[in-house]
Structure 1
Amino acid sequence: MARKAGTPPSHVEGGDSKSHRTRTRILDAAAHVLSVKGFAGTRLTDVAEYAQLQAPAIYYYFPSREDLIEEVMFCGISDMRLHLQRKLDELPPDATAMEKIMTAVDSHLRHELELSDYTTASIRNSGQIPEHLRTRQKEEEAAYGRIWQRLFTDAIADGEIRADVDARLTRLLVMGALNWAAEWWDPSRGTLDGVVRTAQTLVQTGLSPLRATPQSQ
């Protein structure tokens, strides 16, 4: 399967019609090819082959290669944002700000590395896509970033993150590190659980308030 999970992108409508299934198949295939070959290396012939379709059939659903790639890039970030929001909504009402951040780290890494070719493609190709194809993607990135920003801002206000750090810079640095995992993680050399635990430890210990040390006598 093209997607690492079997469900179609959250925002794609059309029910269970044959047309909807075919469109989803094309998107799934494009997400997989884009995540592996990158923007420059993605060809509609490769997408068609992976989707087990004739290449001309793609044009019935997408006017061009760029339109197809633009949709995949948007799906990747949109799905990731919705996935994170669901995970946060599932937490108990009394969850601490740091517990929410730990959930966000887990959600981001698993969606990026395990659950969705769309997200992998979107993260790995963000710097390669022409600017005119990134309008919707950038809007979703901003919305996703606002969720993270609120988590760090709340954690600072609650005293769970040291007060001498900048919430915006913290968000950018943490998310940048998590995104980079798409470039280096090799499942044959370590489990995803290990990556998640290590990332959570680094974030929590690196940002937690400094403990007061006894004055030397």
Structure 2
Amino acid sequence: MARRNNRLSAAADKVVVEPATAESKSALTRSRILDAAARVLSEKGYAGLRLTDVAAEADLQAPAIYYYFPSRDELIEEVMWSGIADMREHVVSVLEKVPDGSPSLERLLIAAEAHLRHELEISHYTTAAIRNSGQVPQSIRKRQILEEERYGDVWRRLINDVARDGVLRPELDLYIAQMLVLGALNWAVEWWNPRRGSIEAVVENAQSIIRHGIAEVPAE
């Protein structure tokens, strides 16, 4: 009886393990497709993305993509949303590590560096999302826009804190200042490449422009 129970237990264990393994393989394949789509979308844009290119990048046959994503646009929608969601999570994570009591302007400068590094060297998803936000149909942008609003709230709080501390130039409108800073940071994905200077140089220049462009100059 004990042997029979052991065999039943082993069989039960086998039934549990195999689907988990298959699910894990499926999740990995889905991630490969998304990673490949992010790279292709960041380089070729919405109009230039072909599923055959994504499949080649993911080392799959093109029809296999439809098992995970019913359409080309649904695949692109997932990449576009992930790009902004990943950016927000990254910047928030970096800010959470900043010591309590740090100056508000310093937190703003740290966020600018985190944003630039994420879009330029960390995530093809974010590069793709920023580069293609004005190219994809509005139906694809719906979830991304909601995520952009959540990310915008992070920057709104940063700018508001700078203003509350009396550091922001009094003539500046908070919303306009926020959008101009974010717009400048986002535009870096369009012009930057290693031949135009290191990422460190981009970060230093961006921080200098923010520091001297929006901060109140102390009276001498």
What TM-score comes out, normalization by structure 2 length?
Answer: 0.88
Change in Cα spacing, 1:47 to 1:151, as seen in structure 2 (3 Å) is same
**Quick check: 91-100 or 29-38, which moved more?**
91-100
Aligned-residue offset at 1:211: 3.0
**Residue of structure 1 in register with 2:199 after alignment:** 192
- Structure 1 unaligned residues grouped into runs of 5+: 1-13
* Partner AA of 1:173 in structure 2: L
Q: Within the alignment, does 1:136 sit opposite 2:128 as a pair? A: no
Equivalent position to 2:100, from 93, 102, 122: 93
**Residue of structure 1 in register with 2:171 after alignment:** 164
Question: Which consecutive segments of 4 or more residues in structure 1 shift more than 3 A?
Answer: none
Q: Distance in 1 between matches of 2:104 and 2:146?
A: 25
Q: Distance in 1 between matches of 2:25 and 2:53?
A: 22
Provide, for residues 62-116 of structure 1, a one-character-per-residue CA deviation record: whole Å limited to 9, x for no partner.
0000000000000000000000100010000111110110111001100000000
Equivalent position to 1:35, from 42, 45, 65: 42
**Residue of structure 2 in register with 1:69 after alignment:** 76
**Residue of structure 1 in register with 2:32 after alignment:** 25
* Partner AA of 2:128 in structure 1: A
SS of the aligned residue for 1:134 comes to helix
Q: Within the alignment, does 1:56 sit opposite 2:63 as a pair? A: yes
Equivalences, count: 200
Higher helix share: 2
- Aligned 1:174-189 pairs, distance under 5 A: 174-189=181-196
Equivalent position to 1:84, from 68, 87, 91: 91
RMSD: 1.4
Q: Distance in 2 between matches of 1:111 and 1:90?
A: 16
**Residue of structure 2 in register with 1:10 after alignment:** none
* Partner AA of 2:78 in structure 1: E
Q: Distance in 1 between matches of 2:190 and 2:196?
A: 14
**Quick check: 96-105 or 202-211, which moved more?**
202-211
**Residue of structure 1 in register with 2:158 after alignment:** 151
**Residue of structure 2 in register with 1:11 after alignment:** none
- Structure 2 unaligned residues grouped into runs of 5+: 1-20
Aligned-residue offset at 1:16: 7.8
Change in Cα spacing, 1:16 to 1:89, as seen in structure 2 (3 Å) is farther
Change in Cα spacing, 1:172 to 1:66, as seen in structure 2 (3 Å) is same
Q: Distance in 1 between matches of 2:139 and 2:105?
A: 37
Provide, for residues 3-61 of structure 1, a one-character-per-residue CA deviation record: whole Å limited to 9, x for no partner.
xxxxxxxxxxx998100100000000000000000000000000000000000110010
